[in-house]
Amino acid sequence: MTEMIPTWVDGKLVAVEKLEAHRRGLLHKAVSVFVLHGTAVLIQRRAMAKYHTPGLWANTCCTHPHAGELPEDCAARRLSQELGLSGLTLEHRDQITYRADVGQGLIEHERVDIFVARVARRVTPRPNPDEVMETAWVDMADLAQRTRRSPEAYTPWLCIYMDQYSTQIFA
């Protein structure tokens, strides 16, 4: 089944096939989640089967909402699907727009609703191997240094988040 995502075309929000939106670099809706414990953030390494940026480290999870799906419902759905995490309290932090080349002729041009979930203890994810090959808890300041020092190991959007939007996300 082809996945359709909410995308702006000629100023109107319409459903466009996900890969087509990325090939054309069309602005589309997205959701990103950061699970935090104190100054540590849970990050994931994308599975090698992913159609773009396989094997790169990313924020806790991210995805595109289905047509008509609320961003907070999308965030909760994806936490469960990718990492087996449920019942976390999600706080909407901001909505940002970015554009990044993700390789293979694909562009992520996203209007992203950013969510944070603060946890009292470090949760242990149960990654879906089709989505995630590894997870790690990393200090936010260390993650910012790593994304600057070795951006090739991280998804372009995580580098953008850490470089340009960390105060909005982690405040």
With beta carbons less than 8 A apart as the criterion, state whether 83 and 99 touch. no
Residue that has been written with the tokens 């104190």 in this structure: 38
- In this prediction, residue 165 carries a pLDDT of 96
How many whole angstroms separate alpha carbon 37 and alpha carbon 162?
A: 17
- In this prediction, residue 1 carries a pLDDT of 58
- In this prediction, residue 108 carries a pLDDT of 96
Catalytic residue (choose from 61, 62, 74, 159) = 62
Task: For the chain, list the domains and their CATH numbers.
Answer: 4-170 (3.90.79.10)
pLDDT per residue over 95-123, tens digit each?
A: 999 999 999 999 999 999 999 999 999 99
Is 110 designated active site? Answer: yes
pLDDT per residue over 33-68, tens digit each?
A: 999 999 999 999 999 999 999 999 999 999 999 989
Helix (H) or strand (E) holding 61, with range, is: strand 61-63
Catalytic residue (choose from 61, 82, 110, 159) = 110
Is 134 designated active site? Answer: no
How many whole angstroms separate alpha carbon 112 and alpha carbon 142?
A: 24
| Nearest Cα residue to 41 out of 111, 107, 115 | 115
